Chain A
Amino acid sequence: MAGIQVVGNTNNTTAAEVEVNTNALRTVVRPNDYGSLGIYHEGANNGTTAMSAGLAAAAPIFSFRWGNASNLALVKRVLFEMGSGGTGFTAGSAQFNMFVARSFTVSDSGGSSILATGNGNKLRTSMGTTLLTDLRISATGTLTAGTRTLDVNPIGSISVPISATTSAQFVPVKSTLFDQRVAEYPLVLAQNEGFVIQATVPATGVWFFGVQLTWEELASF
């Protein structure tokens, strides 16, 4: 029995195919329609100078603030890695927690701004420049919290044992703090919302860390 073919928009004489053996309709998954905005990916680390020893517990080391009133930021993926430097830790454990920040009306300060400008960190040059308000990472010490309210519990958490070994990778590269894949709900941020990564590490040691993140800026979702 014959059926109806599905043809395209511009390609309105091109019919979608059905596989011979599985009878499955061929489809292709596309990213969200970003319109005049864009989709961005950034990798960052605290630099060539290690994080100093003696960081206070639950210190903010990475901050993402969305202050745009008209659009949404969809955080899809936040990956983390960490290792010791030339001075070892007192053996113990470390925790790295990602918290959603709401009522985020004043950006964190300190560290290094890694907010892209121009074509920076776009996944396609023709996308719009990011409208992100603030993006920063620690250099050698804690960031200074702005005005924000963190959720009670983290949205993602990494806990690892820490030994006294120097130059050791304690959190493997690309460890997941947050990773929403196809069909999973992203972290949707409206105006004055964001997220913060906090660190608790043992005494004595100096250390390095890196963060990779992917986010989308959309007019609606």
Chain B
Amino acid sequence: MAPIGTAQISGKANAGPAEVELNTLALRRVIRPTDCTVYGSYSGAAFQNIVVPTLGATFTLSGTGLHLAIFLWPRAASVAIVKKATVSMMRYGTVNAAGFFNLQLSRVIQDQGATIIAGDVITPPSTHTTLNAVTITPSNLRTNQPTSGAWFAIAPTSSAHVGNLRFVDSANVATVLQPVTRGDPNPVAAQGANLTTTAGTGIGPVALWDTAAGNYPIVLQQNQGLVFDLTATGVVIGTAENIDFGVSMQWDEANINNVAY
């Protein structure tokens, strides 16, 4: 059917118009990053020596679980658009037990009513004393972008508290722990490996999440987040041992009214 006419596509400031390739008949276009309007794009990474506690044959998040890093999005009327998450883990020093270890990424939702602010204390389970998580300060991918609104933290190094993180309402730290309600029954992503008792073996570095162009990223609304966990099966750790853990993330922050997510 014959067209009813032709049109050229012109720009706002530049009249252009856009070109169509002579042989492939393809319209030329350039792809730009997400328009984050008042916010920006960020990257954060950290490395930590973490003490793995004395645990039983298995440890999972529902039990004595081991959170290694947490990314929270506390800002209202906006979203964090998670593009990449990369992790690595290595056992070093005296390695006590072989087994299947697993690094996983899970989406979590903060309990309603709890408000996390940057710098909140993190109280581990049980009777361990309150310890501050090590905040990971994001880098702006462009200096004129505002400071990130994300709260990103890695477990601190301490033989006293065993490397676990939980995030709680700062107003209730001394009394009731409000653990995060897990939003997804299964992790978003996981990477495991069968590790021997040889020091220096580990997992990764591996991208647990990596959004290619055209694929849907992880979109976090207010009071949602991601948790990086270490689980294991068939492992009996007689005494505490040490791991090196590294985490790296890249994300965009955008006003919820101005981004099509």
Contact = CB atoms under 8 A, between A and B. Distances in A.
Nearest to A25: B27
A26 B65 CA distance: 50
Contacts of B138: 153
A6 B98 CA distance: 63
Interface string A99-113: 110100000000000
Nearest to A16: B27
B88 A33 contact: no
A158 B90 CA distance: 12
Interface residues of B, number: 61
B24 A28 contact: yes
Given A6-B7, A8-B20, A17 B25 contact: yes
B3 A3 contact: yes
A100 to B, nearest CB: 5
A2 B4 contact: yes
A11 to B, nearest CB: 5
Interface string B212-238: 111000000000000000000000000
A7 B88 contact: no
Contact of B137 (A17, A32, A153, A163): A153
A185 B33 contact: yes
Interface range on chain A (Cβ under 8 Å from partner): 35 or more
A175 B206 CA distance: 10
A1 B201 CA distance: 64
Interface string A165-203: 000000000011010011111111010010000000000
A162 interface: yes
A46 B47 CA distance: 25
B243 to A, nearest CB: 10
B52 to A, nearest CB: 15
A15 B141 contact: no
B142 to A, nearest CB: 4
Interface stretch (A37-45, A90-98, A124-132): A90-98
Contacts of B83: 184
B43 A158 contact: no
A90 to B, nearest CB: 11
A69 interface: no
A4 B27 CA distance: 14
A9 B6 CA distance: 12
B109 to A, nearest CB: 26
A28 B142 contact: no
A28 B45 contact: no
Contacts of B5: 4-5
Interface string B31-75: 111100000110111110000000000000000000000000000
Interface in A1-60: 1-12, 14-17, 25-33
Nearest to B201: A161
Contacts of B40: 185
Contact of B6 (A7, A99, A152, A161): A7
Contact of B33 (A102, A175, A183): A183
A26 B246 contact: no
Interface stretch (B11-19, B111-119, B160-168, B181-189): B11-19
Contact of A31 (B18, B30, B250): B30
Interface in A69-91: 91
Given A15-B3, A183-B33, A159 B26 contact: no
A156 B248 contact: yes
B44 A153 contact: yes
Interface string B193-207: 000000111100100
B45 A154 contact: yes
Contacts of B7: 4-7
A219 interface: no
Contacts of B17: 8-9
Nearest to B36: A185
Contacts of A16: 20, 25-27
Given A17-B26, A97-B45, A160-B88, A2 B19 contact: no
A30 B29 contact: yes
A3 B22 contact: no
B46 A12 contact: no
Given A183-B214, A186-B33, A187-B141, 14 more contacts: A5-B3, A6-B8, A6-B9, A6-B18, A16-B20, A26-B25, A26-B26, A154-B139, A155-B141, A156-B45, A160-B90, A161-B92, A175-B205, A183-B213
Ranked nearest first, the 3 interchain pairs of A and B with the lowest CB-CB distance are A8-B20, A185-B41, A161-B200
